[in-house]
Amino acid sequence: MRRLWFLVPIVFGMWFVGCGEEKLTVQDNLKGTWKLTARTLPDGTTLKPPDVGGLMEWFAINDRRGHVTVAITGQGDGQRTYDFENNACTVSASAFSMERSLLMGRSYLHGDGPVETDTAPRSLEGRLTVDGKKTTLTYGNGVAQTFEEASLTVTVPNRYTDTWKKE
Protein backbone atom coordinates (compact mmCIF):
# COMPACT_ATOMS: atom_id res chain seq x y z
CA MET A 1 0.00 0.00 0.00
CA ARG A 2 2.78 2.39 0.91
CA ARG A 3 4.36 1.97 -2.52
CA LEU A 4 1.21 3.28 -4.27
CA TRP A 5 1.19 6.71 -2.54
CA PHE A 6 3.35 8.15 -5.29
CA LEU A 7 0.35 7.70 -7.62
CA VAL A 8 -1.87 10.13 -5.65
CA PRO A 9 -0.26 13.34 -7.01
CA ILE A 10 -0.22 11.91 -10.53
CA VAL A 11 -3.90 10.92 -10.43
CA PHE A 12 -4.85 14.25 -8.82
CA GLY A 13 -2.85 16.13 -11.46
CA MET A 14 -4.57 14.24 -14.26
CA TRP A 15 -7.98 14.97 -12.71
CA PHE A 16 -7.11 18.66 -12.28
CA VAL A 17 -5.99 19.02 -15.90
CA GLY A 18 -9.01 17.08 -17.15
CA CYS A 19 -11.44 19.28 -15.22
CA GLY A 20 -9.86 22.51 -16.37
CA GLU A 21 -11.20 24.72 -19.12
CA GLU A 22 -12.24 22.78 -22.21
CA LYS A 23 -10.04 23.02 -25.26
CA LEU A 24 -11.43 25.64 -27.64
CA THR A 25 -11.89 24.63 -31.24
CA VAL A 26 -12.11 26.83 -34.31
CA GLN A 27 -15.86 26.16 -34.55
CA ASP A 28 -16.55 27.46 -31.04
CA ASN A 29 -16.66 31.00 -32.47
CA LEU A 30 -18.86 29.91 -35.39
CA LYS A 31 -21.44 27.49 -34.04
CA GLY A 32 -24.93 28.48 -33.02
CA THR A 33 -27.99 30.15 -34.50
CA TRP A 34 -27.53 33.55 -36.13
CA LYS A 35 -30.24 36.07 -37.12
CA LEU A 36 -29.82 38.63 -39.91
CA THR A 37 -30.59 42.06 -38.42
CA ALA A 38 -29.51 44.50 -41.16
CA ARG A 39 -28.18 44.74 -44.71
CA THR A 40 -26.25 47.82 -45.84
CA LEU A 41 -26.10 48.48 -49.58
CA PRO A 42 -23.21 50.23 -51.39
CA ASP A 43 -25.19 53.51 -51.56
CA GLY A 44 -25.49 53.53 -47.74
CA THR A 45 -29.12 52.39 -47.61
CA THR A 46 -29.76 50.05 -44.67
CA LEU A 47 -32.47 47.40 -44.93
CA LYS A 48 -33.94 45.80 -41.82
CA PRO A 49 -36.68 43.24 -41.23
CA PRO A 50 -39.19 42.81 -42.80
CA ASP A 51 -37.40 44.11 -45.93
CA VAL A 52 -34.59 41.59 -45.38
CA GLY A 53 -34.26 38.70 -42.95
CA GLY A 54 -32.41 35.49 -42.43
CA LEU A 55 -31.35 32.68 -40.15
CA MET A 56 -28.15 30.68 -40.21
CA GLU A 57 -27.32 27.68 -38.06
CA TRP A 58 -23.79 26.35 -37.70
CA PHE A 59 -23.98 22.91 -36.08
CA ALA A 60 -20.59 21.42 -35.15
CA ILE A 61 -20.38 17.66 -35.67
CA ASN A 62 -16.85 17.39 -34.29
CA ASP A 63 -13.73 19.60 -34.02
CA ARG A 64 -13.30 19.85 -37.79
CA ARG A 65 -16.69 19.30 -39.45
CA GLY A 66 -20.02 21.06 -39.23
CA HIS A 67 -23.37 21.51 -40.96
CA VAL A 68 -24.31 25.04 -42.01
CA THR A 69 -27.82 25.96 -43.15
CA VAL A 70 -28.78 29.44 -44.32
CA ALA A 71 -32.19 30.89 -45.14
CA ILE A 72 -32.45 34.49 -46.40
CA THR A 73 -35.50 36.47 -47.47
CA GLY A 74 -35.67 39.88 -49.07
CA GLN A 75 -37.77 42.29 -51.04
CA GLY A 76 -36.41 42.60 -54.58
CA ASP A 77 -38.13 44.85 -57.11
CA GLY A 78 -41.44 44.50 -55.27
CA GLN A 79 -41.19 40.71 -55.30
CA ARG A 80 -40.47 38.64 -52.20
CA THR A 81 -37.33 36.56 -52.70
CA TYR A 82 -35.76 33.78 -50.69
CA ASP A 83 -32.85 31.38 -50.70
CA PHE A 84 -32.14 28.30 -48.64
CA GLU A 85 -28.87 26.42 -48.74
CA ASN A 86 -27.41 23.44 -46.95
CA ASN A 87 -23.64 23.03 -46.57
CA ALA A 88 -21.13 20.70 -44.98
CA CYS A 89 -18.07 22.55 -43.73
CA THR A 90 -14.57 21.37 -42.88
CA VAL A 91 -12.23 23.67 -40.96
CA SER A 92 -8.57 23.59 -40.00
CA ALA A 93 -6.36 26.10 -38.21
CA SER A 94 -5.90 28.19 -41.37
CA ALA A 95 -8.36 27.04 -44.07
CA PHE A 96 -11.93 25.92 -44.64
CA SER A 97 -14.05 24.31 -47.33
CA MET A 98 -17.82 24.46 -47.83
CA GLU A 99 -19.54 21.67 -49.74
CA ARG A 100 -23.01 22.84 -50.75
CA SER A 101 -25.51 20.03 -51.27
CA LEU A 102 -28.69 22.07 -51.82
CA LEU A 103 -29.66 25.55 -52.98
CA MET A 104 -33.35 26.28 -53.26
CA GLY A 105 -35.39 29.41 -53.79
CA ARG A 106 -35.96 32.51 -55.83
CA SER A 107 -32.54 34.06 -55.58
CA TYR A 108 -32.30 37.21 -53.50
CA LEU A 109 -29.47 38.24 -55.81
CA HIS A 110 -31.63 37.83 -58.93
CA GLY A 111 -35.19 38.30 -57.66
CA ASP A 112 -36.91 38.14 -61.03
CA GLY A 113 -36.17 34.46 -61.67
CA PRO A 114 -38.36 31.42 -61.06
CA VAL A 115 -38.15 29.25 -57.97
CA GLU A 116 -35.21 26.90 -58.51
CA THR A 117 -33.70 23.88 -56.84
CA ASP A 118 -30.03 23.08 -57.38
CA THR A 119 -28.68 19.82 -55.97
CA ALA A 120 -25.41 19.86 -57.92
CA PRO A 121 -22.54 19.73 -55.42
CA ARG A 122 -20.58 22.98 -55.19
CA SER A 123 -17.33 23.49 -53.33
CA LEU A 124 -15.92 26.73 -51.98
CA GLU A 125 -12.61 27.06 -50.19
CA GLY A 126 -10.87 29.85 -48.41
CA ARG A 127 -8.62 31.17 -45.71
CA LEU A 128 -9.52 31.01 -42.02
CA THR A 129 -7.92 33.38 -39.51
CA VAL A 130 -8.40 33.45 -35.76
CA ASP A 131 -7.50 36.44 -33.59
CA GLY A 132 -8.71 35.80 -30.04
CA LYS A 133 -12.51 35.66 -30.16
CA LYS A 134 -12.59 36.89 -33.76
CA THR A 135 -12.71 34.32 -36.58
CA THR A 136 -12.77 35.35 -40.24
CA LEU A 137 -13.58 33.13 -43.22
CA THR A 138 -12.37 34.71 -46.47
CA TYR A 139 -13.53 33.13 -49.72
CA GLY A 140 -11.60 33.21 -53.00
CA ASN A 141 -14.19 35.59 -54.49
CA GLY A 142 -13.56 38.22 -51.78
CA VAL A 143 -16.60 37.45 -49.62
CA ALA A 144 -15.70 37.58 -45.92
CA GLN A 145 -17.55 36.34 -42.84
CA THR A 146 -16.25 37.75 -39.55
CA PHE A 147 -17.53 36.11 -36.36
CA GLU A 148 -16.79 38.01 -33.16
CA GLU A 149 -18.52 36.82 -29.99
CA ALA A 150 -22.28 37.36 -30.61
CA SER A 151 -21.83 39.34 -33.85
CA LEU A 152 -21.31 38.23 -37.45
CA THR A 153 -20.52 40.55 -40.34
CA VAL A 154 -20.78 39.22 -43.91
CA THR A 155 -19.24 41.42 -46.59
CA VAL A 156 -19.99 40.77 -50.27
CA PRO A 157 -17.84 43.31 -52.16
CA ASN A 158 -19.83 45.82 -54.23
CA ARG A 159 -23.16 44.19 -53.21
CA TYR A 160 -23.90 44.49 -49.48
CA THR A 161 -22.71 44.09 -45.89
CA ASP A 162 -24.91 42.01 -43.59
CA THR A 163 -25.02 42.22 -39.80
CA TRP A 164 -26.07 39.09 -37.91
CA LYS A 165 -26.58 38.53 -34.17
CA LYS A 166 -26.23 35.26 -32.29
CA GLU A 167 -29.52 34.03 -30.86
Per-residue pLDDT tens, the chain, 167 aa: give them: 455 444 444 444 433 333 334 445 789 999 999 999 999 999 999 999 989 999 999 999 999 999 999 999 887 556 677 889 999 999 999 999 999 888 888 655 555 567 788 888 889 999 999 998 999 999 999 999 999 999 999 999 998 999 999 99
- Provide long-range contacts, Cβ within 8 A and 24+ apart, for 129-132: 129/94, 130/26, 130/29, 130/93
Q: In CATH, which of 1.20.1260, 3.30.420, 2.40.128, 2.40.160 is domain 24-166?
A: 2.40.128
Residue 32 has a CB neighbour count (10 Å cut-off) of 17
- Provide long-range contacts, Cβ within 8 A and 24+ apart, for 90-93: 90/64, 90/65, 91/26, 91/27, 91/30, 91/64, 91/65, 91/66, 91/128, 92/26, 92/64, 92/128, 93/26, 93/128, 93/130
Domain edges within the chain: 24-166
160 CA to centre of own chain: 17
Tell me the C-alpha to C-alpha distance, in Å, between residue 92 and each of 8, 129, 134: 37, 10, 15
What does pTM read for this prediction?
0.79
9: helix, strand or coil? helix
